[in-house]
């Protein structure tokens, strides 16, 4: 019932002048601030990094990595939503890692002002049934102005459209 209400609300916002759109940001190490990185340490115990990545609407992304895993945490107004455990469960396999440098931001564009409400990014994980194969998954996160939560994942045929549809259920 709640999902139907949110979907109707999202559609009505679009019909009355607000437009749901996607903007993109990067986690490419060349374009972000390195907070910590094992590549700059003499003898690190494990490979790791923490990068501060730009976002939209006052949000920042913390791209973190350790022990062959990587994920995104979300920071808003100094409060960080820690999503490591949720991301590892959502990845559908072992050694979940962010697969590319792209982050899709879903939000409302009104009077040339973009207000994000969700992000979508791709992770890859080792298939638990066949370690020679990988599983690719889109992770959808509701931003919730400082209390980010994973809404769900989408994979397979129509994964992009389905991920956008899920993200848009959180539109204001």
What's the pLDDT tens digit per position in 78-115? 999 999 999 999 999 889 999 999 999 999 999 999 99
Q: pTM to 2 decimals?
A: 0.86
Q: Where are the domains of the chain?
A: 2-168
Place of tokens 């102005």: 145
Per-residue confidence (pLDDT) for residue 11, from 0 to 100 = 45
- What's the Cα-to-Cα distance from 116 to each of 54, 68, 105, rounded to whole Å? 13, 30, 6
Q: What is the pLDDT of residues 116-165, one digit of tens each?
A: 999 999 999 999 999 899 999 999 999 998 899 999 999 999 999 999 99
Per-residue confidence (pLDDT) for residue 7, from 0 to 100 = 36
């Amino acid at each position: 019932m709640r999902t139907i209400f949110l979907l109707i609300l999202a559609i009505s916002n679009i019909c009355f002048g607000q437009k749901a759109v996607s903007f993109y940001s990067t986690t490419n190490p060349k374009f972000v601030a390195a907070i910590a990185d094992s590549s700059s340490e003499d003898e690190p115990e494990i490979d790791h990094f923490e990068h501060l990545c730009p976002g939209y609407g006052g949000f920042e992304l913390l791209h973190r990595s350790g022990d062959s895993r990587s994920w995104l945490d979300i920071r808003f107004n100094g409060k960080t939503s820690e999503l490591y455990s949720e991301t590892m469960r959502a990845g559908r396999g072992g050694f979940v890692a962010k697969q590319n440098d792209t982050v899709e931001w879903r939000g409302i564009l009104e009077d040339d002002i973009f207000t994000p409400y969700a992000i979508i990014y791709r992770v890859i994980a080792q298939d638990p049934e066949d370690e020679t194969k990988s599983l690719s998954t889109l992770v959808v996160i509701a931003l919730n102005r400082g209390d980010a939560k994973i809404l769900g994942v989408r994979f397979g045929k129509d994964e992009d459209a389905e991920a956008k549809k899920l993200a848009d259920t959180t539109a204001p």
